[in-house]
Amino acid sequence: MNILQQLNDIFTPERVLTDEDSLQNYGKDWTQVYTPDPLAIVFPTSTEEVQALVKMANEEGVALVPSGGRTGLCGGAVAMNKEIVVSFDRMNKILDFNSIDRSVVCQPGVITQQLQNFAEENNLFYPVDFGSSGSSQLGGNISTNAGGIKVVRYGLTRNWVLGLKVVTGAGEVLDLNHGLVKNATGYDFRHLFIGAEGTLGFITEATMRLTNIPKNLTVFVLGVTDIPALMQVFETFQNTIELSAFEFFSEDTLSLMVNDKGYARPFDTEAPYYALIEFEVDHESKEESALQAFEACAEEGWVVDGVMSQSLQQAKDLWRLREDISETISAYTPYKNDLSVNISKVPEYLDKVEQAVNQNYSEFKVLWYGHIGDGNLHLNILKPDSMEVSEFFEQCSKVNPDIFEVTKKMNGSVSAEHGIGIIKKNYLKYSRSKEEVELMASVKKIFDPKGIINPGKIF
Amino acid sequence: MNILQQLNDIFTPERVLTDEDSLQNYGKDWTQVYTPDPLAIVFPTSTEEVQALVKMANEEGVALVPSGGRTGLCGGAVAMNKEIVVSFDRMNKILDFNSIDRSVVCQPGVITQQLQNFAEENNLFYPVDFGSSGSSQLGGNISTNAGGIKVVRYGLTRNWVLGLKVVTGAGEVLDLNHGLVKNATGYDFRHLFIGAEGTLGFITEATMRLTNIPKNLTVFVLGVTDIPALMQVFETFQNTIELSAFEFFSEDTLSLMVNDKGYARPFDTEAPYYALIEFEVDHESKEESALQAFEACAEEGWVVDGVMSQSLQQAKDLWRLREDISETISAYTPYKNDLSVNISKVPEYLDKVEQAVNQNYSEFKVLWYGHIGDGNLHLNILKPDSMEVSEFFEQCSKVNPDIFEVTKKMNGSVSAEHGIGIIKKNYLKYSRSKEEVELMASVKKIFDPKGIINPGKIF
pLDDT tens per residue, range B29-61:
888 789 999 999 999 999 999 999 999 999 999
Instruction: Collect all residues of chain A within an 8 Å Cβ-Cβ radius of residue B435.
Output: 172, 174
DSSP structure string for B189-208: THHHHTTSTTSSEEEEEEEE
Query: Which of A277, A311, A326 lies at the terminal end of a domain, its last residue?
Result: A326
Range B303-324 average pLDDT: 96
User: Contact at 8 Å (CB) between B64 and B79?
Assistant: no
- Among the ranges given (A336-340, A447-451, B102-106, B362-366), the one the predictor scored with the smallest mean pLDDT: B362-366
Among A101, A184, A439, beta carbon nearest to B189: A439
Residues A204 and A221 in one domain: no
Taking only the tens place, the pLDDT of each residue in B206-227 is 999 999 999 999 999 999 999 9
Distance from CA of A297 to the nearest CA of B (A): 15
Smallest Cβ distance to B415: which of A184, A231, A424? A184
Residues 6+ apart with CB under 8 A from A414: A339, A404, A407, A424, A427, A428, A430, A431, B185
A431 is a domain residue: no
B contacts of A419 (beta carbons < 8 Å): 184
Cβ neighbours of A415 in B, within 8 Å: 183-185
CATH of the domain at B228: 3.30.70.2190
Assembly ipTM: 0.96
The answer to whether residue B363 is domain-embedded is yes
Smallest CA–CA separation between A427 and chain B, in Å? 10
Q: Which pLDDT band holds residue B101 (cuts at 50, 70, 90)? A: very high
- In 3D space, the residue among A261, A346, A273, A260 whose CA is nearest the CA of residue A306 turns out to be A273
**Domain check: are A137 and A163 in the same one?**
yes
Minimal-distance CA residue of chain B relative to A285: B283
Q: Into how many domains does chain A fold?
A: 4
Residue contact A234–B100, C-beta within 8 A? yes
Beta strands at A243-250 and A273-280: parallel, antiparallel or unpaired: antiparallel
**Contact across the interface for A431 and B183, Cβ inside 8 Å:** yes
In a domain, B449, yes or no: no
Chains A & B: contacts with CB separation below 8 Å:
238
Same domain, A102 and A78: no
CB-closest option in A101, A185, A375 to B414: A185
Instruction: Check residues B438 and B73 and name the one with the higher pLDDT.
Output: B438
Whether residues A182 and B123 touch (CB distance < 8 A) is answered with: no
CB A406 within 8 A of CB A353: yes
Task: Tell me the per-residue pLDDT of A161-203, one tens digit each, with 9 for 90 and over.
Answer: 999 999 999 999 999 999 999 999 999 999 999 999 999 999 9
C-alpha closest to that of A418 among B176, B181, B189, B183: B183
Q: Is the pLDDT of residue A389 over 90?
A: no
Looking at the complex, report in whole angstroms how far the Cα of residue B414 sits from the nearest Cα belonging to chain A.
7
CATH number reported for the structural domain that contains residue B187 in this entry? 3.30.465.10
- Chain B residues whose beta carbon lies within 8 Å of the beta carbon of residue A413: 178, 180, 182-185
Q: Per the CB < 8 Å rule, is B436 touching A186?
A: yes
Between CA B421 and CA A186 the distance in angstroms is 9
B70 contacts B29 by C-beta, under 8 angstroms: yes
Contact B161, B208 (CB under 8 A): yes
Average pLDDT, chain B: 95
> Cβ B181–A283 below 8 Å, yes or no?
no
CB contact under 8 A, B433 and A181: no
Local confidence band at B12 (pLDDT 50, 70, 90 cut-offs): very high
Contact residues on chain A for B419, CB-CB shorter than 8 A:
184
Judging contacts by C-beta atoms under 8 Å, the chain A residues touching residue B418 are 184
Q: Give the pLDDT band of residue A441 (cuts 50, 70, 90).
A: very high
Among A101, A174, A442, select the one facing B342 at the smallest CB separation.
Answer: A101
Q: Report pLDDT digits (tens) over A349-363.
A: 999 999 998 888 778
pLDDT at B393 (0 to 100): 87
Backbone angles phi, psi at A188, to 5 degrees: -90, 90
Residue B399 counted as domain residue: yes
**Cβ contact, residue pair A420, B172, below 8 Å:** no
Residue B38 lies in a domain: yes
pLDDT of amino acid A283: 87
- B438 to chain A, closest Cα gap in Å: 10
pLDDT score of A49:
98
Q: How far apart are CA B313 and CA A238, in angstroms?
A: 29
Inform me whether the pLDDT recorded for B305 exceeds 80: yes
Whether residues B181 and A375 touch (CB distance < 8 A) is answered with yes
- Please tell me which of the candidates B102, B374, B428 has its beta carbon nearest to residue A181: B374
What is the model's pLDDT at position A33? 81
Whether B309 and B401 map to the same domain: the answer is: no
CA-nearest residue to A234 within chain B is: B100
In this prediction, residue B161 has a pLDDT band, given cuts at 50, 70 and 90, of very high
pLDDT at B203 over 80: yes
Q: Which of B101, B180, B188 sits opposite A191 (nearest CB)?
A: B188
Return the number of other C-beta atoms located less than 10 Å from residue A146's C-beta: 28
Tell me the C-alpha distance between A194 and A50, whole Å.
19
Cα–Cα distance, B47 to A248 (Å, whole number)? 38
Minimal CA separation from A354 to chain B, in Å: 21
Examine residue A442 and state whether it is found in any structural domain, yes or no: no
* Cβ atoms of B337 and B311 closer than 8 Å: no
Give the C-alpha distances (Å, rounded to integers) separating B265 from B257, B258, B270, B313, B437. Answer: 9, 7, 9, 15, 46
Q: In chain B, what residues touch A242 (CB-CB under 8 Å)?
A: 212
pLDDT at B1: 73
A412 contact residues in B (CB cutoff 8 A): 178, 180
pLDDT, one tens digit per residue, over A78-134 is: 999 999 999 999 999 999 999 999 999 999 999 999 999 999 999 999 999 988 899
Say whether pLDDT at B361 is over 80.
no
pLDDT of residue A31: 83
- Verify that B72 and B131 share a domain, yes or no: no
pLDDT tens digits, residue range A264-319? Answer: 999 999 999 999 999 999 888 899 999 999 999 999 999 999 999 999 999 999 99
Looking at the structure, tell me whether residues B102 and B144 fall in a common domain: yes
B84, B53 in Cβ contact below 8 A? yes
Q: Are residues A384 and A304 in the same domain?
A: no
Closest-CA distance of chain B to residue A190, Å = 9
* A412/B180 touch (CB, cutoff 8 Å), yes or no: yes
Q: Is B4 helix (H, G, I), strand (E, B) or coil?
A: helix
pLDDT (0 to 100) of residue A298 = 97
Kind of pairing between the strands at B273-280 and B217-224:
antiparallel
Which of A52, A87, A122 corresponds to the end of one domain?
A87
CB neighbour list of residue B112: distance below 8 Å, 6 or more residues apart: B69, B126, B128, B129, B130, B132, B133, B134, B136, B137, B138, B141, B146
Instruction: Report the residue of chain B nearest A192, measured CA to CA.
Output: B187
Residue B181 to residue A340, Cβ atoms within 8 A:
yes
Asked if B100 and B205 sit in the same domain, the reply is yes
CB contact under 8 A, A340 and B182: yes
Mean pLDDT of B165-181: 98
Which run of H or of E encompasses A427?
Answer: none
Do residues B28 and B19 make contact, with C-beta atoms less than 8 angstroms apart?
no
Statement: residue B331 has pLDDT above 90: no
State the Cα angle at A431 between A428 and A434, rounded to 5°.
Answer: 70
Q: What is the CATH number of the domain that holds A355?
A: 3.30.70.2740
CB contact under 8 A, B147 and A418: no
User: Closest to B442 (Cβ–Cβ): which among A145, A231, A446?
Assistant: A446
pLDDT (mean) for A425-432: 96
Instruction: Between A21 and A372, name the one with better pLDDT.
Output: A21
Asked whether the beta carbons of residue B185 and residue A239 sit closer than 8 angstroms, the reply is no
* Residue B321 near residue B223 (C-beta atoms within 8 A): no
B174, B195, B374: residue with CB nearest A184: B195
Read off the pLDDT band of A142 (50, 70, 90): very high
B244 contacts B280 by C-beta, under 8 angstroms: yes
Q: What pLDDT shows up at residue B300? A: 98
> B98 and B83 in one domain?
no
Task: Please check whether residues B204 and B221 belong to one and the same domain.
Answer: no
Q: How far is CA B57 from CA A448, B10, B44, B67, B400, in A?
A: 31, 12, 14, 16, 37
Distance from CA of A179 to the nearest CA of B (A): 7
Same domain, A222 and A314: yes
Host domain of residue B144: 94-209
How many Å lie between the alpha carbon of A104 and the closest alpha carbon of chain B? Answer: 12
φ and ψ at B68, to 5 degrees? -105, -120
Cβ A447–B435 below 8 Å, yes or no? no
pLDDT tens column, A192-238: 999 999 999 999 999 999 999 999 999 999 999 999 999 999 999 99
Q: What is the 3-state secondary structure (H, E, C) of A391-409?
A: HHHHHHHHHHHHHHHHHHH
Taking CB atoms and an 8 Å cutoff, what residues of chain B touch A212? 238-239, 242
A339 to A413, B185, B307, B422: CA distances (angstroms) = 6, 11, 51, 43
In the listed set B271, B303, B326, which residue is the last one of a domain according to the structure?
B326
- Asked, for residue B251, whether it belongs to a domain, the answer is yes
**Inside any domain, residue B8:** yes
Side-chain-facing half-sphere of B7: CA atoms under 13 Å: 23
Contacts of B195 in chain A (CB under 8 A): 184, 186-188
| Residues A53, A263: Cα–Cα separation, whole Å | 49
B219 CB-near residues (< 8 Å, 6+ apart): B276, B277, B278, B308, B309, B314, B315, B318, B319
Q: Each residue of A250-263: pLDDT tens digit? A: 999 999 999 999 99
| B287/B272 same-domain check | yes
Query: Residue A10: pLDDT band by 50, 70, 90 thresholds?
Result: very high
Q: Out of A183, A192, A424, whose CB is closest to B416?
A: A183
pLDDT of residue A284: 87
Output the pLDDT for position A363: 81
Per-residue pLDDT, averaged over B421-425, amounts to 94
Q: Is B321 a residue whose pLDDT tops 80?
A: yes
Q: In this predicted structure, what is the pLDDT of residue A7? A: 97
